Amino acid sequence: MDNGYASWSFFRQARRVLGDAFFTRLFRVGRRQLQRWSADPAHTDEPRNNPIDRINTILNALEKRGERDLALEGVKLLAAGRRASVVPYEEVSPNVDGVTGSMLRDYPALVTLHKAMMDQAGEAEVRALLHRAKLELDDTLAHYLRETRRAE
């Protein structure tokens, strides 16, 4: 999903707003390296992976090793600093017949989430269980909307 910015473009805009001095102190690199990191790859002979690209490389490597949840936690850490949340983009595909059946499937996920909270489980575990419960609720909503539209 494209958010309108390539990493180099975002980095260039951040440099414009925060200034090179901020980034040279933060990353302990010179101005030329900052220019490389924010250069449009289509117009340079020496494009460099900027810190955003490097984080993406880490997340992709985690996913390739089957650690999608850990990669998602990394993205959530970045979002949490902005008081935002991240929900994976997944198509909800109803797999239980009828709204009633789907509603019944919501309960185990909710009970598991509530039990983990009462047991004071770690934040990562609770967030993962919350995500599963939300997927179940999204599934129920999809059933409901599909059946409501058929009735119209």
Could you report the per-residue pLDDT of 16-59, keeping only the tens digit for each?
A: 999 999 999 999 999 999 999 998 888 877 767 899 999 999 99
- Tokens found for residue 53: 């690209």
> Which amino acid is located at 138 in the chain?
D
Could you report the per-residue pLDDT of 53-98, keeping only the tens digit for each?
A: 999 999 999 999 999 989 989 998 998 888 887 767 554 444 556 7
Q: Are 104 and 91 in contact (CB under 8 A)?
A: no
Indicate the domain borders of the chain: 7-48, 98-151
Q: Each residue of 27-56: b (16+ CB within 10 Å) or e?
A: eeeeeeebebbbbeeeeeeeeeebebeeeb
Predicted model pTM: 0.54
Interacting residues of 104 by C-beta distance below 8 A, sequence separation 6+: 96
